[in-house]
Amino acid sequence: MIVEIEGVRKVYQSPDGEIGALQDISFSIEEGEFISIVGPSGCGKSTLLSIIAGLEKPSAGVIRVDGEKSRGVNPKIGYMPQKDELFPWRTIWQNVTLGLEVHRQMDQEHQAFVRRLLARYGLAQFMDCVPSQLSGGMRQRCALIRTLATGPRILLLDEPFSALDYQTRLSVAGDIHRIIRQEGKTAILVTHDISEAVSMSDRVAVLSARPGKLKCIQDLSELHALSPMRRREHAHFHRYFNDIWKELELCG
Ligand code: ADP
Ligand code: MG
């Protein structure tokens, strides 16, 4: 188990009193697995991801990464937050190497690694451009490369495609899925889009409405070898979609 989530609860304090965001969440993620978390808006998906990232403390429960209790930010984890903007005044190169700069890892080896990622994913000739010169899908790939640059083994992605139009979304989801598989990463994706979850993941965890409780986990591992596009054509795609939809409806 690369990530273990055990009895996690989160209560926020607000001027109107306490807000229960998560309740008794427990599940584990295996190395190399792609898991999605779906649930109604406000059920605590982003909260859970930022707790796994070590940016927020749970009110109760523990997160273990590689068997070790998590204490704050962990270099094994790369986190793409929901509002992940590239800096408009920095070039693509300056954006994708930002993490290296912050972690003082701007050595030849890391720079060469980022150059390879840019080349492999079709962005090498845009290194000196600024983000506004790129399409939405290209910017999303940059954000992912920036997250991969520091070499995390686990990627946390919070609704990474929500700002894209439908067609771009399909192709970028395909790209990002391929990059994550090729780089052999473990991924946890938060989305409110069931189709997206079914098209990309080995398992889907369904959270109920606030405070988010773990409703069920759907196993889709029979689709593991297929690309997101191929999965959408798979005979069982709609069955999985309907099963998850029913669970979500029951969450009310
Ligand atoms: P989701 O990502 O599933 O839409 P969030 O994790 O963002 O949900 O939020 C879960 C609940 O916790 C929401 O009701 C939200 O308003 C509340 N919440 C999130 N962050 C804070 C915070 N920093 N302070 C108070 N309440 C918060
Ligand atoms: Mg959210």
Residue spans of the domains in the chain: they are 3-76+155-249, 85-151
Q: Report which of 136, 141, 168 is spatially closest to residue 157, judged by C-alpha positions.
A: 141
Instruction: Give residue 126's identity as a one-letter amino acid code.
Output: F
Instruction: Give residue 45's identity as a one-letter amino acid code.
Output: K
Low-confidence ranges of the chain (pLDDT < 70): 83-84, 251-252
Q: Quote the pTM value.
A: 0.91
Residue 81 confidence (pLDDT): 76
Best residue for ligand 1 mutational test, from 18, 19, 190, 208 (most atoms within 8 Å of Cβ): 19
Q: 10 Å Cβ neighbour count for 115?
A: 15
Residue 131 confidence (pLDDT): 94
- What is the rounded CA–CA span in Å between residue 25 and residue 135? 38
Topology of domain 3-76+155-249 in CATH is Rossmann fold (3.40.50)
Best residue for ligand 1 mutational test, from 8, 14, 36, 47 (most atoms within 8 Å of Cβ): 47
- What is the rounded CA–CA span in Å between residue 155 and residue 181? 11
Residue 84 confidence (pLDDT): 60
Give the per-residue SS3 of the chain.
CCEEEEEEEEEEEECCEEEEEEEEEEEEECCCCEEEEECCCCCCHHHHHHHHCCCCCCCEEEEEECCEECCCCCCCEEEECCCCCCCCCCCHHHHHCHHHHHCCCCCHHHHHHHHHHHHHCCCHHHCCCCHHHCCHHHHHHHHHHHHHCCCCCEEEEECCCCCCCHHHHHHHHHHHHHHHHHCCCEEEEECCCHHHHHHHCCEEEEECCCCECEEEEEECHHHCCCCHHHHHCCCCHHHHHHHHHHHHHHHC
Q: Whose CA is nearest to atom 10 of ligand 1?
A: 44
Q: Is the peptide bond before 15 cis (omega within 30 degrees of 0)?
A: no
φ/ψ (deg, to 5) at 187: -130, 140
10 lines ligand 1 (CB under 6 A): no
Q: Whose CA is nearest to atom 25 of ligand 1?
A: 12
Residue 252 confidence (pLDDT): 58
